[in-house]
Structure 1
């Protein structure tokens, strides 16, 4: 392998640039909302060149999808408590903490914005980003449900978890309503 083919070092400059770009996106969404900034503004805020963003992510929509998925995965990993009820309660509590935290509303708005992508080229990229985000979340939830099946538990469908646990929490946050631990636990209990 020659010098030009060297692999990226985890934790090196590439990781630092990625973190700066991710934070710039989150900050811009918090300040202005989705659809009100450009790659150039993200680059300026992150202290990198526009070309670095295009080279690494290809489009603003791909970047936005990665930011959302990375934040969601980091903040609400799939728990493994030994029971489906325990896993769902822990997962729902993690999601509630994540979406009510400092960057939570920005991430919720971003996820929602990706679902409303148009039909032009930019919209198609947004739809692909949205589909990738949805597919990854569904895969993660399915892995939690599959573990429960292996333990012999009766499980709901992954989309039922989305409809009965995640969707009500996201709607409440979007409308500025409180998410109490009792409310979140009740969502899980009703599904089960």
Structure 2
């Protein structure tokens, strides 16, 4: 079990986490990621370095935790009125955010400090939750829709592969093509 899994939500623990995460984001903007140290973060957050080491283990695990929280969507996907439009809009936004230099850095940090795979699972769950919202809306409108796993396989997986290993051609047209292919055969227009 990771250190993060043992932490109780709320109270002092939540305040410490928020202060440390805020300190990391501020310091990254001010001095840059390569210059960041645990003592620097601790001083900014108003905690001792031992608090950070006890809770996160090392700087990379802390950066990983901050990255995962940054990758958490802040709002549900926009409702454009039909499955294809909703999925296309979500896919374009996802691709834009994840393929940006900041997005790639957060992906890298999320995975580098994640020996047990928990962060990858959390990031995957965020995408799955967003897709589930899109699919539930489609079903409420009476549209046929694929399941979440199909959309993850047909939209998210190829995007993440391309973002990490073959970043050329990451355009809205690419996201649109993946969204169309994901809904083919489910009653959505081609």
Which TM-score applies when normalising by structure 2?
0.66
User: Residue 77 of structure 2 contacts residue 90 of structure 2 at CA under 8 Å; is this kept in 1?
Assistant: yes
User: Which residue does 1:80 correspond to in 2?
Assistant: 79
1:41 to 37, 42, 58: 37
User: Which residue does 2:4 correspond to in 1?
Assistant: none
Distance 1:73 1:21 in 2: 17
User: Which residue does 1:106 correspond to in 2?
Assistant: 105
SS of structure 2 residue aligned to 1:153: coil
List gaps (5 residues or longer) in structure 1.
1-5, 32-39, 118-122
**How far apart are 1:154 and its partner, in Å?**
0.8
**How far apart are 1:160 and its partner, in Å?**
1.4
The C-alpha deviation readout for 1:100-130, integer Å capped at 9, x for no partner, is: 223121123245547xx5xxxxx3xx33333
Distance 1:43 1:78 in 2: 38
Distance 1:168 1:91 in 2: 15
Q: Aligned Cα RMSD in Å?
A: 3.6
Distance 1:150 1:138 in 2: 18
- Residues 149/51 of structure 1: CA separation in 2 closer, same or farther (3 Å cut): farther
Between the two proteins, the alignment pairs up a number of residues equal to 166
Distance 2:138 2:64 in 1: 29
